Amino acid sequence: MELFVTLGTQRYRIQRPWGAIPDGAGRVSDVATDARGNIFVLLRIDSCVDPAVPTVIVLDPQGKRIDAWGEAVADGHMLATAPDGFIHVVDRDAHEIIRFDVEGERIGHLGQRHAPSAPFNSPSDICFAPDGTAFVGDGYAASRIHRFAPDGTPDGGFGEPGRGPGQFCTPHAVWVNNAGELAVADRDNSRVQIFTQGGEFLLEITDVHKPMDIVSDAEGNWWVTDQVPRLSIFSRSGALLGRGRCVLNGAHGLALHSDGSVLLAEMNPSRLTRLVPV
């Protein structure tokens, strides 16, 4: 049976499960793409009890598995592709973000591994501005957005616990759109906050329930997956442009592919869902 969903003016065919993801090797936690169209799927394991397995599965644009690596990742939460093409994995409870080349070789990091509050305390996500400036959502045991210069040098940040502008309760996901605006999925405040890259508050979107991930498209619109579960598209000004139910129990991660498809990382059941424009 085929299922469909409409988001704004575009209709999509739902394909699930999609892609050559191994069974029984962790739960799908996030998904990202690179300039070549390759797809990076992050698997989350419990490193205290599970055997070491590759936690990053690399697929080609058709979903064929072409590589797998990342056995040293303890608690993969989110991942992102930097403008230089390198992959950054948020190793949440190791309090570190690991920088990998496209072959899976560890080539750098942010934070100190297994050192809480130096500076991360169970971070959640990382994103990049076009010039390589990085923003880290921190996260589960902190309420802060860290900023790093393109060379990895700490460059300040903002945020504290609370419900006001610039305050957070689990900044679960971060993203910079092509207008240079920084969005934070403030999950447990059930809102998305939009800032300048310097931390100046611009606006908030409250028509979401525990937002999980956020990305933007070529027009700078915000795509948000939440725990209703649903996928919503908002304009830069926060107007709702489209909404649909695309997964069974909620997508933890989200990516827009250059071929027009939408990729959703589902943890329960563990799989990748693909929305194909029709």
Chain centroid, CA 73 distance in Å: 16
**C-beta atoms surrounding 140 within 10 Å:** 18
Q: What is the pLDDT of residue 23?
A: 86
Residue 90 has which token pair?
């948020």
**CA dist., res. 28 & res. 128, Å (int):** 22
Q: Is 61 helix (H, G, I), strand (E, B) or coil?
A: coil
Cis peptide before 260 (omega within 30 of 0): no
Q: What is the pLDDT of residue 66?
A: 97
Nearest to 57 by CA among 247, 248, 271: 271
**CA dist., res. 139 & res. 153, Å (int):** 20
Are 214 and 224 a contacting pair, CB within 8 Å? yes
HSE on the CB side for 262, CA within 13 Å? 31
Q: Express each pLDDT in 110-165 by its tens digit.
A: 999 999 999 999 999 999 999 999 999 998 999 999 999 999 999 999 999 999 99
Q: Express each pLDDT in 218-271 by its tens digit.
A: 999 999 999 999 999 999 999 999 999 998 889 999 999 999 999 999 999 999
Please give the average per-residue pLDDT across 205-224, as a whole number: 98
Angle at 198 between CA 195 and CA 200, to 5 degrees: 45
Please give the average per-residue pLDDT across 174-188, as a whole number: 98
Q: What is the pLDDT of residue 60?
A: 98
The overall longest dimension of the chain from CA atoms, in Å, is 51
CATH of domain 27-277: 2.120.10.30
Q: Express each pLDDT in 3-50 by its tens digit.
A: 999 999 999 999 999 999 998 879 999 999 999 999 999 999 999 999
Nearest to 88 by CA among 202, 174, 1: 174
Render 75-99 in DSSP notation, one character per residue: SEEEEEE-TTS-EEEEEGGGTEEEE
Residue 15 has which token pair?
């394909």
